[in-house]
A = this chain, B = another copy of it.
Amino acid sequence: MTGNAAPGVSPGVPQRALRADAQRNVGALLEAARAVFATAGVDAPAKEIADLAGVGVGTLYRHFPQRSDLVKAVFQHGVDACADAAPALAAANEPGAALEQWLRQYTVFVGTKRGLAAALHSGDPAYGALPGYFMRRLEPALASLLDAAIAVGEIRAGTSARDLLHAVANLCMPVPDEGPAYSQRMVALLLDGLRFGATSQPPP
Enumerate chain A interface residues (CB-CB to B < 8 A).
41, 114-115, 117-125, 128, 131, 173-174, 176
The number of times this chain is found in the oligomer is 2
Of B115, B131, B173, the residue contacting A174 (CB under 8 A) is B131
> Interface majority SS on A: helix, strand, loop or mixed?
loop
Look across to chain B and name the residue whose beta carbon is closest to the beta carbon of A113. B123
Chain B residues near A121 (CB-CB < 8 A): 117-118, 121, 173-174
> 14 pairs across A/B with beta carbons < 8 Å?
A41-B123, A114-B122, A114-B123, A115-B123, A115-B124, A117-B121, A118-B119, A118-B120, A118-B121, A118-B123, A121-B121, A121-B174, A128-B176, A131-B174
Chain B residues near A173 (CB-CB < 8 A): 121
Shortest distance from the beta carbon of A181 to any chain B beta carbon, whole Å: 16
Shortest distance from the beta carbon of A189 to any chain B beta carbon, whole Å: 20
Of B41, B118, B125, B176, the residue contacting A176 (CB under 8 A) is B125
